[in-house]
């Protein structure tokens, strides 16, 4: 008997999906950058000027992530794998999708719980949740930095993302202002025949023939959508 393949879902998530876990978004009123200029903490120039400040900034982000827990939106996406072939492409550096149980998560902008040596970007090191300090080095001897993509840096995971999105049977975009490129360009690769669901209380405008906007919080809308899709498959 021929195996029937599961429908493919591609999820593109941003800071808004983790808002109800207590992690602040970037471009809402209480945005993360409020106390810091982006140029001071999240650029190669900032790292060259004041690496101690950059490490302290991300140490604080790491502690916040460790204190947070997945919310119903993350958990629902993990349940979706029961009947769908799910790829989560996230701009978030937290690990809440993984902790919720999602098995394929592509982090476009890095992972705060990992570090890398400045001279060995390909060797990722688990921080085990510890702060990074000046003087912490990788096995090759260079200063460790957070495994985070800064403004002005390349986004190596885009290559994989570019391959995944066009194969989707259904696209779900959750909690992203779609203001940051190249991540935002992925929406233009969504197949025109695939329904595209957008969950965001302040949804960015988007042009797609099968667009469905849910102007609600992720923890409300995503579980409802997921249960609906699972029920359709079970009919």
Site for ligand APR contains 223 (CB under 6 A)? no
Taking the complex as a whole, the smallest distance from the CB of residue 227 to ligand APR amounts, in Å, to 17
Q: Taking CB under 6 A as the criterion, which residues in 169-198 touch ligand APR?
A: 174-177, 179-180
Q: Which is nearer to ligand APR, 117 or 175 (CB)?
A: 175
SS3 84: coil
Catalytic residue ranges: 109
- Chain-centroid distance of CA 107 in Å reads 6
Report the candidate in 18, 22, 58, 16 with the shortest Cα–Cα distance to residue 40: 58
Count of residues in the chain: 235
Rounded CA separation 96/90 (Å): 10
Contact status: 201 vs ligand APR (CB under 6 A)? yes
Burial of 36 (0-12, 13-18, 19+ CB in 10 A): middle
Residue 182 preceded by cis peptide, ω within 30: yes
| Binding flag, residue 26, ligand APR (CB under 6 A) | yes
| Whether the Cβ atoms of residue 105 and residue 88 lie closer than 8 Å to each other | yes
Please identify, using beta-carbon distances, which residue of 87 and 109 lies nearer to ligand APR.
109
Rounded distance, CA 102 to CA 78, Å? 4
CB of 108 or CB of 138, closer to ligand APR: 108
For residues 112 and 18, give the distance between their C-alpha atoms in angstroms, rounded to a whole number: 14
CB nearer ligand APR, residue 102 or residue 138: 102
Residue 218 engages ligand APR in binding (rule: CB under 6 A): yes
Measured in whole angstroms, the distance separating CA 234 from the mean position of its chain's CA atoms is 29
Per-residue string for binding with ligand APR, 49-88, x by CB under 6 A?
----------------------------------------
CA distances from 162 to 10, 56, 77, 111 (A): 11, 33, 21, 19
Nearer Cβ to ligand APR (15/105) = 15
Among 12, 200, 214, 225, binds ligand APR (CB under 6 A): 200
Among 109, 145, 197, 214, binds ligand APR (CB under 6 A): 109
Residue 67, CA atoms < 13 Å, CB-side half-sphere: 9
Segment interacting with ligand APR, rule: CB under 6 A, options 25-33, 116-124, 129-137, 159-167? 25-33
Span from 77-85, 99-107, 156-164, 168-176 in contact with ligand APR (CB under 6 A): 168-176
**Residue 46 in the binding site for ligand APR (CB under 6 A):** no
Q: Which residues here bind ligand APR, judged by CB under 6 A?
A: 14-16, 19-20, 25-28, 91, 109, 174-177, 179-180, 199-202, 217-218
């Amino acid at each position: 008997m021929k195996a029937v393949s599961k429908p493919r879902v591609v999820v593109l998530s941003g800071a808004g999906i983790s808002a109800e876990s207590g992690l602040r978004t970037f471009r809402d009123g209480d945005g993360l950058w409020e106390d810091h200029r982006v140029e001071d903490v999240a650029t190669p120039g900032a790292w060259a000027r004041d690496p101690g400040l950059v490490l302290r900034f991300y140490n604080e982000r790491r502690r916040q992530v460790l204190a947070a827990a997945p919310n119903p939106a993350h958990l629902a996406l993990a349940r979706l794998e029961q009947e769908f072939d799910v790829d989560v492409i996230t701009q978030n550096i937290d690990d809440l999708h993984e902790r919720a149980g999602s098995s394929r998560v592509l982090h476009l902008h890095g992972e705060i719980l990992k570090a890398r040596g400045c001279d060995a970007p390909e060797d990722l090191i688990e921080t085990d949740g510890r702060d990074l300090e000046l003087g912490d080095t990788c096995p090759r001897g260079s200063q460790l930095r957070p495994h985070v993509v800064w403004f002005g840096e390349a986004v190596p995971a885009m290559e994989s993302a570019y391959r995944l999105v066009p194969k989707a049977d259904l696209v779900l975009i959750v909690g992203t202002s779609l203001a940051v490129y190249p991540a935002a360009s992925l929406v233009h690769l969504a197949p025109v025949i695939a329904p595209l669901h957008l969950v965001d209380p302040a949804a960015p405008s988007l042009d797609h023939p099968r667009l469905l906007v849910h102007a609600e919080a992720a923890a409300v809308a995503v579980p409802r959508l997921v249960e609906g899709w699972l029920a359709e498959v079970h009919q």
